[in-house]
Structure 1
Amino acid sequence: MVKTYWGVDSASSVTSDVYNSVLKRFGKPLFWGRCLTTVQGASEGLSRVEIEFLRSRGTKLLPIYNNFSSATGFRSGMTSAVDAVSSARRMGIPTGVPIFANLEQALDVDAAWLRGWYEGIQSKGYTAGFYHDLSEETFKNSYSAAAKENDKLHSDTILWSAEARSRPSGERNAPAYNPRTPSHSANVWSWKYGGDSETGAIDTNLATKPLFDKLW
């Protein structure tokens, strides 16, 4: 049985009220996914105050980058990676920590962008991650092509499967770890299994030990 850790992610800032609401409704999150930058109509950017708040409560940070609308072209992927790394450094996030590109909102995804993101993130000492519905054919094909063009991408990259199948729930009511995967050997180390379709406020996730150990 896979060892998992329960956590959440949100597009909005983490305040004491938000944290306590999650605590009361679901239980203590062991990690919290937050967007590094503010994107109008999509996310509020992470702050140092939030980081200190979460860490003081024993909740690790899972960094997300979503400041792009299309994920095509190597140069574009590299540019996004540079911006993500700059944001992470500004927040004091140490190297080695995964940074996930949120591909859910991207209109298109190609192999060149995935390679650009991977190479840009890894070259600065962070760990590249992708957040998407891993069963979606365009992503599967692009990821497979990118891995063939750079064989280290497949072994180094962490995948976070975005496929909420139910409403949010706490650890006690979470399903067994069973995310979709683009290949049997892919590092699918996190799974968004629960989403709040009514408010979109909180998603609930499971992470495996290899990912949890890398979070900050």
Structure 2
Amino acid sequence: MQNIFEPQRFGDLVFASADTKSVLNDIRTGALPFPSGKHGIILYGSFGTGKTASAPIICDMIEQANSGSALAIEPYVIDCEGSERIDQILNTAEDRRQILSANLSNLHYFIFDEVDSLTDPAQRKLRMFMQRTHVVTVMTTNYIDKLDGGLKDRCYQLEINPLTNAQMRQSVLQRVKDNNLTPPTEEQLEQLIASSNGSWRQVMPKLRKFYGV
């Protein structure tokens, strides 16, 4: 069963950082052409703040900014904590890049999850790959200080950290409205928010239990 409270589109995402919101909105509107100059996006911040869930939605937003259409094929997701060697990972990615993209922009999208798990030499190899034509790379990390300096220089570094209570309230009420559900009482809403620690990951199961979905 689909989780109706899981973010599905760019408009569902709420960011604690005004700078993060500004950069992504500029990419969305075309005010900041991407990929151009910068070759990737790094989503960094504390645990449970939605970096991994946001990455494919951001890829779709980039595609729409470049072509006017949604992604025709899902991004290729690489779990950097996995056992595959970086050479094997990048060879597979390069094979995909050389195939004509199904996306109208001709771009290929790659998500490197927990990219800080890669060794320094592996990160340098990734840095070279992400500069190839028709490649969009979105990376997630809890430890941006562990990333290669050259890799970071080639990316927009966007902070994804816990929401304030006001931001969480806005997000919960919007999601409830989008799904045509009866809003919780003020007391119920305060209880949901108080126990969330600014993390949408913690709020979602409580909302599902509250609404029985």
Same fold (TM over 0.5): no
Structure with the larger RCO, 1 or 2 (CA within 8 Å, 6+ apart): 2
| TM-score normalised by the chain length of structure 2 | 0.37
State the structure with more CA Rg.
Answer: 2
Structure with the higher strand share, 1 or 2: 1
Q: Choose between structure 1 and 2: higher helix proportion.
A: 2
